[in-house]
Structure 1
Amino acid sequence: MKLVKHIANLGYGSRKQVQWLFREGRVTDADGEVLYADDAVPLDAVRIDGEPLDPPPGLLLMLHKPLGVTCSTKDTGRLVYDLLPPRYRLRDPLLSTVGRLDRETSGLLLLTDDGQLLHRIIAPKSRLPKVYLATLAQDLRGDEAALFAAGTLMLDGEKTPLLPAELDVLDARRARLTLHEGRYHQVRRMFAAVGNHVEALHRERVGGLTLGDLPDGQWRVLDEEDRTRLFAAS
């Protein structure tokens, strides 16, 4: 792939705009030497305004999603893409969220431009554990853990029961719930099915990945070690 097309696909601009970056001398190598559009150089040696190129296609990143932010490219209000460099929204292939967290749920969100990787993460057969911390409006009854673990709970509008899920009660109104599937608003609907309401919801873990010390609203690119850790818990 020509250097101009590759840089354009990373979201730095249209091909015409990227051509202008070359003409203005803003594309250099690691030593600061100006590059030309037809130069053949390793991508990891290319700099734009002195900064290395963004990761190539196959990108996987982790975002600490704040409350009030929507997992969408077109919705009104604040979007997860507003927390990333603007060009990340223009990448080709598209950078997509791996599943969704609703506006009022915070925590660990993955994004990737690798369709096969996205499918592997969300595919039902992968059964990657997803761990949520839920704060409830009412005290737990005491039978929720057994009911969720039974694999017989049916949600309104569903035709198949939920897979067994593990509930760890922290106190009267806080619990940690581990799911092995990802149905629409599943955590909220599970607690609604037992007569409770989720007041706050935070995703702590996906597979073997946790947010660690990643601050609210911040993100980082995941490396091969992170990817191994992601699937280690499946």
Structure 2
Amino acid sequence: MSEILILNKPFNVLSQFTDKEQRNTLADYVNKPGFYAAGRLDYDSEGLLLLTNDGQLANRIADPKHKLEKTYLVQLEGDISNDAIEQLKDGVLLKDGKTRPAQAKRADQPSWLWPRTPPIRQRKNQPTCWIELKIKEGKNRQVRRMTAAVGHPTLRLIRAQIGQWHLNDLQPGNSRLETVHLPKQKPATARAKRGSTPARKASHKRR
């Protein structure tokens, strides 16, 4: 049995507990000794961050090989085209390689969305739009680089879901604790012994 803390990380908060520059950290919102972030969420991004006191669970959440899907709600500069949506779906070529195919679609501004402090910097007379983007990888600042690559800089980025865990009605800085029952790991396969496969005896024809 493991415990997981589901936190709505506010804007401009580090996904760690200390900072030499005295910026806001998780220590301002989490008081549970032994809990650490399973994965990261950028300083200037908001939304779902998972913390746990179980190393095995943290590895399952953070390790890309487990391919937990992450859902982001993204406010973009400009009105995104169908072609740009298709580019996001197919994969975008970044400096560190092409992204994997993703799920992308236009979205309405979430009705449950909280006001951000400070508000986004929006150019005068420049429209904005929202998309929902689902990915299964975690390149550095990937979502922002993907949207910029298709011509639409990200103005606001909110992570809404990781695998089975989602924000629901959590407000920024608030969290809830859940119990997780990890399936038992299968025992390692025993190494085959040398010559373990018995050689078949040669059949001799009777003369």
TM-score (norm 2): 0.71
Q: Distance in 2 between matches of 1:149 and 1:137?
A: 19
1:168 matched residue in structure 2: 105
2:70 matched residue in structure 1: 130
Deviation of 1:224 after TM superposition, in Å, equals 3.0
2:190 matched residue in structure 1: none
Structure number with the higher helix fraction is 1
Q: Distance in 2 between matches of 1:208 and 1:59?
A: 14
Q: 2:55 aligns with which of 115, 122, 135?
A: 115
2:142 matched residue in structure 1: 186
Q: 2:4 aligns with which of 40, 49, 60?
A: 60
Q: Deviations over 1:42-70 (max 9, x none)?
A: xxxxxxxxxxxxxxx94321101111211
Structure with greater contact order relative to length (CA < 8 Å, sep ≥ 6):
2
CA contact (8 A) 1:144 1:167 kept: no
SS at match of 1:143: helix
**1:154 is matched by which residue type in structure 2?**
L
**2:87 is matched by which residue type in structure 1?**
L
Q: Distance in 1 between matches of 2:18 and 2:171?
A: 25
Q: Identity rate of aligned residues, in percent?
A: 35
Deviation of 1:206 after TM superposition, in Å, equals 0.7
Q: Distance in 2 between matches of 1:144 and 1:210?
A: 27
**1:84 is matched by which residue type in structure 2?**
V
TM-score (norm 1): 0.63
Q: Distance in 2 between matches of 1:148 and 1:198?
A: 13
Q: Distance in 1 between matches of 2:62 and 2:73?
A: 20
1:52 matched residue in structure 2: none
2:168 matched residue in structure 1: 212
Q: Superposition RMSD on alpha carbons, in Å?
A: 2.1
CA contact (8 A) 2:144 2:153 kept: yes
Distance 1:64 1:192, change over 3 A: same
Which structure: larger Rg?
2
CA contact (8 A) 1:145 1:166 kept: no
**1:64 is matched by which residue type in structure 2?**
N
Q: Number of aligned residue pairs: give it.
A: 162
CA contact (8 A) 2:4 2:180 kept: no
**2:137 is matched by which residue type in structure 1?**
E
- Unmatched runs of 5 consecutive residues or more in structure 2: 109-127, 184-207
**1:181 is matched by which residue type in structure 2?**
E
Q: 2:30 aligns with which of 44, 69, 84?
A: 84
Q: Distance in 2 between matches of 1:204 and 1:144?
A: 22
